[in-house]
Amino acid sequence: MPPHKDGIYHPNQVAQTGGASSARGPLVLIVEDDPETRQFYAHVLGDQGFRTAQAHNGHQALEKARADAPDLVLADIALPGMDGIELCRQLRAEDRTRAIRFLAITGYGDRHYVDRARSAGADLVLTKPCDADTLVAEARRLLSVAVPARNQNG
């Protein structure tokens, strides 16, 4: 895990897998099947004042989103079981979760995946590898923009 900008690793700012961090700030649900990447995102976002919760697949993320109503979902497109595109589609289909911001991340360079994620309702799609500064800046930007009204068809 990379150290904080002050050069010190702060383990109390990293959310445990499946849990939420204790800091006050917007809640980001991180959905990533790779544990190291998931912890990295939690570390980066936690250091910048975000609260984080974690899920390792789309089904678990859907349950957590329904229960916890995060401000933002940060999801990999390639997930086991329900992928990030279907997760986004299902979140957009439900009244309770429709307005949650959705940031998709993909390791696929093919424009097809970006277009599919956008069609499913993703607010933004970033390509891996995504550096920490970009991730934080885009999360902040998405959370600062007014949420558009969404109908059931996206």
CA 123 to each of CA 13, 35, 76, 78, 99: distance values in angstroms, whole numbers, following the listed order: 27, 24, 14, 17, 10
Q: Which residues contact 47 (CB under 8 A, 6 or more apart)?
A: 4, 5, 10, 13
pLDDT reported for residue 116: 92
Domains (ranges, CATH) in the chain? 14-79+86-143 (3.40.50.2300)
pLDDT reported for residue 147: 52
Minimum mean pLDDT range among 36-50, 93-107, 132-146: 132-146
